[in-house]
Chain A
Amino acid sequence: MVKVKVNDIEVDAGPKDNCILAARKAGVEIPHYCWHESLSVVASCRMCLVEVGETKPDGTIAMGPKLVPGCQTPIKDGTVIRTDSPKVKAAQQMTLELLLLNHPLDCSICDQAGECYLQDYTYKYGKAHSRLDEPKLQRMDKYHIGDQIALFTDRCVMCTRCVRFTREISGTAELQVVARGSHEEIDVFPEEPCNNKLAGNVVDLCPVGALCSKDFLYKKRVWWLKQAESVCTGCSTGCSISIDQNENKVYRLRPRPNPEAQGHFMCDEGRFGFKYIHDERRLSTPRLSVALASGIESQRKTTSANFAPDLNFADLWPTALTKARQKIQDAIKADPSSFVAVFSPFMTVEEAYLLAKFIKGIHDKARLVLGPVPSVGVDDKYPKGPKGESPADGNVKFTIRAEKCPNRLGVEAVLKHFEGSVVRIESIAQRPNAHAWYIVGGYTSGWVTEAIDKAIGTPSLLIVQDIFPSPLSERADIVLASGSFAERDGTYVNHAGLAQSASAAVRAPGEARADGRILMELAGRTGLFNAMALRKEIGAAIPELSVLGSGDLGDQGVRLVRFAKQATAAAT
């Protein structure tokens, strides 16, 4: 720790901090554009100019004669940083005036308005008027930068964060600076657009409205968006994300910086892969088969031969869940070892715990198995080399994992506790003595393979809790329409044993319900689903998940004990 003074505020900073980080610890903002924690330092935007001095042994302070960029200037014991002197303020005003010289000031039609550092800094540190009398430079917008990326050239402040990202993080180097002086522009080579799997990050990195996501462009003003802190469920990396929604519709996902999970970024697969949650084909109401529904009155008509007409609105869930509970209990009591509950690796730890506890509470012999774990190819590591080769192990800055589910480890921990070991559905499906199934889906797309479909066949009891129709849900006795990741509260454990909490951003479509709520009622537990209370219960009940016991996992999550030991061993 080194002691520095920022505008007369004494603060302990890290020895490797620069002035910006040290000032941040003192609660002082040093405005900056080009500097980014995970990119190299170029010190070119000159927004972070500060005065720096040192404390002499006799206690006097000697300030340096020049302004220095806060991003490039290291600190040591006794460093004095001033961000509020007239000299610094004049430099900030000048830099902002210069940056705005050729800026079109089209905030009213700019996607970035509201989260734009040019707006924010001009408001805080700039001045109201420009002295430019001459016409501004006008440059062509470039919609061809990438399949997902458009460049509004004249809004660019040439911080080159995007260029450095493609060179240092993705390693694909599509973006570059062309031309010189004030005519400089960001561009790609002809026919070589920026379409790498991490390309969407340049939109987040862009501090102004120059690089915009085509997917989000003109869809929503950002000040209407509400954020929910969640976890990407696209792969087992488990990127910390923020789900931006308005009026129950998700507009975009953005990475939340989390050094424990993934760093500052996320992949495009995750970023743009949320669209399925608003798919019209999603299951939106619980269903009972004709046989089960006999005797229940209904005024509505059915469209399916298998299913009874929709239940009356008020009776919908209570009827379905009462029937389900009763059928499960009957089936387990008749022959416990022929009952199989299938857990999806998309379930949260809380949901897996609720279901496992419920089933095992009826009879210890009822079986719990892990559903299919989707996996595509091999882990995709970045930065790529010049020929697209993967980096050496020590140099990996981002990994898109082959395991395309968020919580295999968490569900496995629950299964191990209740079942003793993790049994995969692939092995149990071949054994013929399973006559009653409770199957949880929640996969992002069709997951019922022909083999699984055939193995399950037409059992005496089939209850499906899923978000999309499948061959199984078509012939199920009871279908429980459940929630996607954006609709769930809960905990996910990523590939490295990091348990992160996610919160729901939107409601499930129609009458569908988040899984936690379904399982609470199914298990006959009173009260509302409360992830934090459940985490405390799980922490006490399952030793491997003891770290969940605090209930609150914070912004960055906590690591399971077994993995924390590994991480310490790796560090030492």
Chain B
Amino acid sequence: MSDSEFKPVLLGRVGRPNSQTLASYRADGGYEALAKALKMANTEVIDVVKASGLRGRGGAGFPTGLKWTFLPKDVKGPIYLCINGDESEPGTFNNRVLIEEDPHQVLEGIVISSFATRSTTAYFYLRYEYGRCYRVLKQAIDEMYANNLLGKNILGSGYDLDIYLHRGACAYICGEETGLIESLEGKRAWPRIKPPFPAIEGAFRRPTVVNNVETMACIPHIMKHGPEWFQTMGIPKDPNNPRDAGSYGPKLYCISGHVNQPGLVELPMGITARELIDKHAGGVWKGRSAKAVIPGGISMGFMSSAELDTPLDFNGPGRVGCLGLGTAAVVVIDDHTSMVDVLYNACRFFAHESCGQCTPCREGTAWSTKILERIREGRGKLSDIDTLLEISASIGTIPGTTICGLADGAAWPIKTAINKFRGEFEEYIKSGRRSESPVLAGAH
């Protein structure tokens, strides 16, 4: 399927009048997938999702169906489904659009997923800043209860489900699944040590699945059209790599930064960054060219202008030294922008958002920010560059020095910025110049 003939799936109903209402969703064939799923056995639903190759859209890209099978088989007592709506990766806004414009699509996915995972309670963890999302969701959930789509004996199937909306308190770390669970339990959002993984011991010490909002939005479509349809989109498995799970399905790309038309576009997985910028975002603004592109949220690191032909699927960004696809939030940085400023802004964000549990992340993120602050004040030393690299190499789950991946996300911008733009950093330090440019929006 080429881009031109691609019809938006997840965003198909966005922009229509009353797209948030149950009536309009039903008119478009909504909740048919749920009715279909409720007639199947829950393991059959899991098999369908597994066969579709759907991978989690939250950032790590873990196969969703596989995650569901990690739940213990004969468990007594409740299983919980948590929906991660704490969309806090800078540059990311796909969950917001999905919730605000088509909440029933997400909610239908949640009911199907809860049925598949045998959960009778689903917690929707919503970032605090999303006030409109909260109101829209609340209304949609009320409509569902009124129409037997939630509560006892859903659609006469004998299946019961309650959804609780839970608003966070503005912390990036609550997007980490165990941090989210801790926060949900009313505690400080300090990610847990694993094992045990949430599938064994999660929210309230019960087996728990945590899924992203966009993942949930994909579920009704997979149930409706079948796994084969889902696999007509995207990049198939790499036959040479047995561990590759492929990158199937439609994906929402959030484009922001120095482009003419920032926004959210839905495309099959695997479009290149260059195509995305030129065809779907109207090119780089003011006739400039892109110096660097963040492929999927700031924590994934930077792609240089030479790497713009990298496909934005689950494997592509990793091949050019980035951490991964992340949330597919593409941020474009034009050639008039100093990478020192960009990196400073990134580091400041992570120093602010580090939960402070593990020493390397707590101190490393703050230290790298201080170093960049000094460089920007014109008092940098060339040895600072290596210190920054050493800090970035020694924080994160990849060297094994932290509990969660926040530190990896903090390390990758440093690593990629310095490795790919080292000359610019050296030149900046040698010139002794002071940076007056305003920092990017987003970090506070």
Partners in one complex: yes
Of A98-106, A187-195, A341-349, A354-362, the one with at least 4 CB within 8 A of chain B: A98-106
A42 to B401, CA, bound (A): 13
25-55 of chain A: CB within 8 A of chain B: 41-47, 49
Q: Which residues of chain B are near A68, meaning CB under 8 Å?
A: 400
Q: Which residues of chain B are near A184, meaning CB under 8 Å?
A: 356, 362
Contact A157 B193 (CB under 8 A): no
Contact B400 A181 (CB under 8 A): no
Residue B354, interface by CB 8 Å: yes
Q: Which of B188, B351, B360, B394 contacts A181 (CB 8 A)?
A: B351
Contact B358 A46 (CB under 8 A): yes
Contact A132 B367 (CB under 8 A): yes
Residue B370, interface by CB 8 Å: yes
Q: Which residues of chain B are near A131, meaning CB under 8 Å?
A: 383, 387
Residue A158, interface by CB 8 Å: yes
Q: For residue A357, give the distance in angstroms from its CB to the closest CB of chain B.
A: 59
75-97 of chain A: CB within 8 A of chain B: 90-91, 94-95
Q: For residue B328, give the distance in angstroms from its CB to the closest CB of chain A.
A: 27
Q: Which residues of chain B are near A183, meaning CB under 8 Å?
A: 356
Residue of A nearest to B366 (CB): A182
Q: Which residues of chain B are near A94, meaning CB under 8 Å?
A: 360, 390, 394, 401
Residue A177, interface by CB 8 Å: yes
A98 to B391, CA, bound (A): 9
Contact B367 A98 (CB under 8 A): yes
Contact A46 B359 (CB under 8 A): yes
Given contacts A66-B400, A133-B374, A134-B371, contact A182 B351 (CB under 8 A): yes
Q: Which of B193, B363, B390 contacts A101 (CB 8 A)?
A: B363
A176 to B360, CA, bound (A): 21
* Chain A 187-218 interface mask (CB, 8 Å, partner B; 1/0): 00000000000000000000000000000000
Contact A180 B354 (CB under 8 A): yes
A493 to B367, CA, bound (A): 54
Contact B359 A95 (CB under 8 A): yes
A98 to B360, CA, bound (A): 7
Residue B200, interface by CB 8 Å: no
Contact B358 A181 (CB under 8 A): no
Q: Which of B374, B383, B398 contacts A66 (CB 8 A)?
A: B398
Residue B405, interface by CB 8 Å: no
Q: Which residues of chain A are near B373, meaning CB under 8 Å?
A: 134
Q: Which residues of chain B are near A402, meaning CB under 8 Å?
A: none
Contact B398 A47 (CB under 8 A): no
Q: For residue B357, give the distance in angstroms from its CB to the closest CB of chain A.
A: 5
Contact B402 A46 (CB under 8 A): yes
Q: How many residues of B contact A (CB 8 A)?
A: 36
* Chain A 58-75 interface mask (CB, 8 Å, partner B; 1/0): 000000001111001000
Contact A44 B359 (CB under 8 A): yes
Contact B360 A46 (CB under 8 A): yes
Q: Which residues of chain B are near A182, meaning CB under 8 Å?
A: 351, 354, 356, 362-363, 365-366
Given contacts A131-B387, A182-B351, contact A91 B401 (CB under 8 A): yes
Contact A181 B352 (CB under 8 A): yes
Residue B355, interface by CB 8 Å: yes
Residue of A nearest to B381 (CB): A133
A-B pair number, CB within 8 angstroms? 97
A99 to B359, CA, bound (A): 7
A49 to B390, CA, bound (A): 17
Residue B399, interface by CB 8 Å: yes
Residue of B nearest to A94 (CB): B394
- The size bracket of the interface on A is 35 or more
Residue of A nearest to B356 (CB): A184
A131 to B398, CA, bound (A): 24
Q: For residue B43, give the distance in angstroms from its CB to the closest CB of chain A.
A: 32
A46 to B193, CA, bound (A): 12
Q: For residue B260, give the distance in angstroms from its CB to the closest CB of chain A.
A: 36
Q: For residue A333, give the distance in angstroms from its CB to the closest CB of chain B.
A: 74
Q: Which of B365, B370, B387, B403 contacts A44 (CB 8 A)?
A: B403
Q: Which residues of chain A are near B398, meaning CB under 8 Å?
A: 66
Q: Which residues of chain B are near A181, meaning CB under 8 Å?
A: 351-356, 362, 365-366
Q: For residue B390, give the distance in angstroms from its CB to the closest CB of chain A.
A: 8
Q: Which of B357, B364, B381, B400 contacts A98 (CB 8 A)?
A: B364
Q: Which of A41, A49, A67, A158 contacts B362 (CB 8 A)?
A: A158
A41, A43, A133, A158: residue with the most chain B Cβ atoms closer than 10 Å? A133
A99 to B351, CA, bound (A): 15
Contact A67 B401 (CB under 8 A): yes
Contact A72 B387 (CB under 8 A): no
Q: Which residues of chain A are near B363, meaning CB under 8 Å?
A: 98-99, 101-102, 182
Q: Which residues of chain B are near A180, meaning CB under 8 Å?
A: 171, 352-356
A179 to B390, CA, bound (A): 27
Q: Which of A47, A67, A90, A134 contacts B370 (CB 8 A)?
A: A134
Q: Which residues of chain A are near B355, meaning CB under 8 Å?
A: 180-181
* Chain A 120-161 interface mask (CB, 8 Å, partner B; 1/0): 000000000001111000000000000000000000011000
Residue of B nearest to A130 (CB): B367
Contact A98 B359 (CB under 8 A): yes
A102 to B394, CA, bound (A): 18
Q: For residue A130, give the distance in angstroms from its CB to the closest CB of chain B.
A: 10
Contact B403 A43 (CB under 8 A): yes
Q: Which residues of chain A are near B188, meaning CB under 8 Å?
A: 176-177
Contact B365 A49 (CB under 8 A): no
Q: Which residues of chain A are near B402, meaning CB under 8 Å?
A: 46
Q: Which of B359, B381, B397 contacts A47 (CB 8 A)?
A: B359
Contact A46 B356 (CB under 8 A): no
Q: Which residues of chain A are near B364, meaning CB under 8 Å?
A: 98
Contact B399 A66 (CB under 8 A): yes
Contact A44 B353 (CB under 8 A): no
* Chain B 273-296 interface mask (CB, 8 Å, partner A; 1/0): 000000000000000000000000
Contact B403 A49 (CB under 8 A): no
B371, B383, B401: residue with the most chain A Cβ atoms closer than 10 Å? B401
Q: For residue B60, give the distance in angstroms from its CB to the closest CB of chain A.
A: 17
* Chain B 392-427 interface mask (CB, 8 Å, partner A; 1/0): 001001111111000000000000000000000000
A95 to B359, CA, bound (A): 7
Q: Which residues of chain A are near B365, meaning CB under 8 Å?
A: 181-182
Residue of A nearest to B352 (CB): A181
A69 to B194, CA, bound (A): 12
Q: Which residues of chain B are near A49, meaning CB under 8 Å?
A: 400-401
Residue of B nearest to A64 (CB): B400
B358, B365, B381: residue with the most chain A Cβ atoms closer than 10 Å? B358
A66 to B398, CA, bound (A): 7
A360 to B355, CA, bound (A): 70
Q: For residue A307, give the distance in angstroms from its CB to the closest CB of chain B.
A: 65
Residue of B nearest to A52 (CB): B400
Q: For residue A331, give the distance in angstroms from its CB to the closest CB of chain B.
A: 70
Residue of B nearest to A182 (CB): B366
A177 to B394, CA, bound (A): 25
Q: Which residues of chain A are near B370, meaning CB under 8 Å?
A: 132, 134
Q: Which residues of chain B are near A67, meaning CB under 8 Å?
A: 399-401
A98 to B401, CA, bound (A): 12
Q: Which residues of chain B are near A132, meaning CB under 8 Å?
A: 367, 370
A184 to B390, CA, bound (A): 24
A42 to B364, CA, bound (A): 19
Contact B400 A44 (CB under 8 A): no
Q: For residue B299, give the distance in angstroms from its CB to the closest CB of chain A.
A: 15
Interface residues of A (CB under 8 A from B): 41-47, 49, 66-69, 72, 90-91, 94-95, 98-99, 101-102, 131-134, 157-158, 176-177, 179-184
Known: A43-B193, A44-B190. 17 other contacts (CB 8 A): A41-B193, A45-B358, A66-B399, A66-B400, A91-B394, A94-B394, A95-B360, A131-B383, A133-B371, A133-B374, A133-B381, A158-B356, A180-B352, A181-B352, A181-B354, A181-B365, A182-B356
The 9 closest A-B pairs by CB, nearest first: A66-B400, A182-B366, A98-B363, A67-B400, A184-B356, A134-B370, A181-B354, A44-B357, A94-B394
- Return 18 A-B CB contacts under 8 Å, by A number: A41-B193, A42-B357, A44-B359, A46-B359, A47-B359, A66-B400, A68-B400, A91-B399, A91-B401, A98-B363, A133-B374, A134-B370, A134-B373, A176-B188, A181-B351, A181-B355, A181-B366, A182-B366
